[in-house]
Amino acid sequence: MGKTIRVGSGSAWWGDRVEPARLNAEQGALDYLCFETMAEATVSAAQVRARRDPSFPGYDTYLDERMRAVLPACMRQGTRIVSNQGWINPEGAARRIVELLREMGHTGVKVAAVNGSLITDRVLELTDRILENGQPTSTLAPTLISAEAYLGAEPIVEALRAGARIVVTGRVADPSIFMAPLMHEFGWDPMDHEKLGMGNGIGHLLECGAQVTGGYFPDPGFKDVPEPWNLAFPIAEVSEDGSCVITKVAGSGGAVTLQTVKEQMLYEVHDPANYITPDVVVDFTTARLEQLSADRVRVSGISGKPRTPTLKVSIGCTEGFIGEDMFFYAGPGALRRAQLAKRILEERFRIVGLQAEDVRIDFLGLNAIHGAATPANAPEPYEVAVRVAARTKTREEAVKVGREVDGMAVSGIAHTGKRVPHQDRTREVIGVWSALVPREQVPASVVYFES
């Protein structure tokens, strides 16, 4: 038998649950535990928060909670951690992890921070066109907040080879976080697109956490999974040839089946033959799947093509504000009252001169999802939530939405159910655009710390 590496998922996004990560750390017999905590807008949102709140450290707001949950078992069992919880401040995140390690009595642990993904100050020099609309990226200059390139696995591998037990990064492509340990352990060459195709394919299966173990999968009566309230995050048992078995901790909820693996394999993959990552272009069309036993699916045959000369850059820009609120009707005639309420609000927005780029008044339970495609003869609901939202250029205009909904409490129509407006009913909109940058223009660097 050749060498096998066990890599487990610790999260699929910033707001993910912590308990499955602890379960993997304690019972997964892992060599590596990897955390994916960033969506496309995470860095931009972090930059916005940093502008409003100078005390914001710039890294994952759940860093402490996640690390306190998994560090004891990981240190005890020798499990190494790779995480992109650094957001816009990987070095700050690394320093905080060092503090937590010292609190727990773990000294001499090397922690690495991978920098280089943030290129806000030079993105307009390095890029040419916006991918979504073909316009020059220079047109984004007035609203630019942040720009981050998707780095690949190589700087993480560098840190692991230097002896880092924990590696924390900023924006690194999701699959790369999981593939870097495989490159390090198996000595895969960064130019070996066949091995890296398999490795990135495995990373893609793990990056969304419970989605491959039954999360985002159940459809009662059609696709059932056991104990969906007790889902575990996945574990990949990876062999040196790049094949693997996807599994989970025994006794946990959910399921690992051909269906769950296939759904995640195709999740967010526009072209299964050409899934572009910083490290390699993955080809899923050659994949072979085999159900070995309960909760054990063997994955092999994923192939790859040479990596592209460019890296993707996500560019966050301010795009105004959204004002939003909601109120409710129930019982016979709920829809008629909601329809009159919509007419009232449309007239009130005209009277107060609401300057909005877009206004939506939806009936939750009837047309809020499908909009104009909702069948004309859809059954009348017994209760209706009226969601009102407007997109505006200024916060002052966005505030008008909540103010007019407040008026519905006593100047509306019969049986209006109103929320007490303790929540913030306006929020800044961050738009995310894409561009390409030559990869040699985005060098990564690694900084080391020790507990």
Of 374, 361, 272, which is closest to residue 325 (Cα–Cα)? 361
Tell me what the mean pLDDT of segment 137-166 comes to. 97
Report the alpha-carbon distance of residue 197 to residue 199 in Å, rounded.
Answer: 5
The model's pTM = 0.93
Confidence of residue 426 (pLDDT cuts 50, 70, 90): very high
Confidence of residue 225 (pLDDT cuts 50, 70, 90): very high
Look at 132-146, 165-179, 294-308, 408-422 and tell me which has the smallest mean pLDDT.
Answer: 408-422
**136 part of a folded domain:** no
**145 part of a folded domain:** no
Same domain? For 325 and 389 the reply is yes
Total tally of structural domains belonging to the chain: 2
Predicted confidence (pLDDT) per residue in 186-220, tens digit: 999 999 999 999 999 999 999 999 999 999 999 99
Same domain? For 387 and 268 the reply is no
Same domain? For 321 and 306 the reply is no
Beta-bridged to residue 437, according to DSSP, are: 311
Tell me what the mean pLDDT of segment 131-150 comes to. 95
pLDDT at 104 over 80: yes
**131 part of a folded domain:** no
Same domain? For 327 and 421 the reply is yes
Q: What is the mean pLDDT of the chain?
A: 95
**pLDDT at position 374:** 84
Same domain? For 300 and 321 the reply is no
**134 part of a folded domain:** no
Report the alpha-carbon distance of residue 335 to residue 411 in Å, rounded.
Answer: 18
Range of the domain at 236: 4-118+150-310+440-450
**pLDDT at position 42:** 79
